[in-house]
Amino acid sequence: MMCAAPSHSSPTVQPLISIRNMTLSFGSEIIQENISFDVRRGSIFAVMGGSGCGKSTLLKNMIGLLHPSSGQMFIDGEDYWAQDESRRSMINHRFGVLFQGGALWTSMTIGENVALPLEMFTDLPPKIIHELVRLKLGLVGMEHAINLFPSEISGGMCKRAGLARAIALDPDILFFDEPSAGLDPITSSRLDDLILALRDGLGVTIVIVSHELQSLFTIADDGVFLDAQKHTAIAHGSPTDLRNTCPIPEVKAFMNRLSSVSPTK
């Protein structure tokens, strides 16, 4: 049984990202198989599910770090894994990634961290790069920390600095891996507000892996639910729709924080 919310996109509008019959595995161990879903342009799409279901593995496939065992991923209609390495690298320039913890280089200042992708992938002069770094940090409320090191700022500030680095190259797709992990409720709420502001202000499409339900209810408007036992996606829809209307026991239990469930067969 598959629980799916009604589609909010026009059938004539091509999705920005399309996953088709994708199988994720490590050797003979199947993590997830035959996953298919679309990510609408301008949406905040949540990858949901319990621990060990393959959320982060799926994200690594979507950003090009892991090759799927089978299946396809289309970016604006272009078959990503059918391209050569050079073309995939060009497509990757459309991606910005916020890893867990921010993944900042501890030996570099916050400004140097944000400048790194600009120095690696553009021919801009240092003065312009510095101005762009200040701009990106300003967008996330971190301009004051430009000369500080990661060890000198809080975990929430590291997340915002990591977000500034993720948008350094003006990507049109942002991938977030557990952005609220380790944050207190107030800091997490502020990060949610920032993510919404960036989506609305920059027009980016966001794919977010998270098990922080309150955050997902606040920001995500679509998503897919992965099941660790069935090794596939068993539900599609916004987190709110899945919480309120999905009849699948596993999904209902997770989205409503229930302690017990009678699995479907």
pLDDT band at residue 123 under the 50/70/90 scheme: very high
Q: Is residue 240 part of a domain?
A: yes
Residue 191 covered by a domain:
no
H or E element, residue 119: helix 110-121
The answer on pLDDT for 264 being more than 60 is no
What pLDDT, on the 0 to 100 scale, is given for residue 2? Answer: 61
What is the average pLDDT score of the chain?
Answer: 88
Q: Is residue 25 part of a domain?
A: yes
Number of structural domains in the chain:
1
Note whether residue 80 is domain-resident: yes
Q: Are the C-beta atoms of 38 and 15 separated by less than 8 Å?
A: yes
Residues 247-254, mean pLDDT to the nearest whole number: 91
Q: Once rounded to an integer, what is the mean pLDDT over residues 165-194?
A: 88
Residue 254 inside a domain? The answer is yes
Q: What is the pTM of this model?
A: 0.88
| Per-residue pLDDT reduced to its tens digit, 195-237 | 999 899 889 999 999 888 889 999 999 999 999 899 999 999 9
CATH of the domain at 86: 3.40.50.300
Instruction: Output the DSSP codes for 199-260.
Output: HHHH--EEEEE---HHHHHHH-SEEEEEETTTTEEEEES-HHHHHHH---HHHHHHHTT-S-
Q: pLDDT digits over 62-80, tens only?
A: 999 999 999 999 999 999 9
- Supply the angle between the helices 126-139 and 110-121 in degrees, to the nearest 10: 130
Tell me which residue range forms the domain holding 210.
Answer: 15-94+173-179+205-260
Q: Is residue 144 part of a domain?
A: no
120-150: buried (b, 16+ CB within 10 Å) or exposed (e) per residue? eeeeeeeeebeebbbebbebbebbebbeebb
pLDDT for 44: 96
Does 233 reside within a domain? yes
Does a structural domain hold residue 81?
A: yes
Contact between 172 and 95 under an 8 Å Cβ cutoff? The reply is no
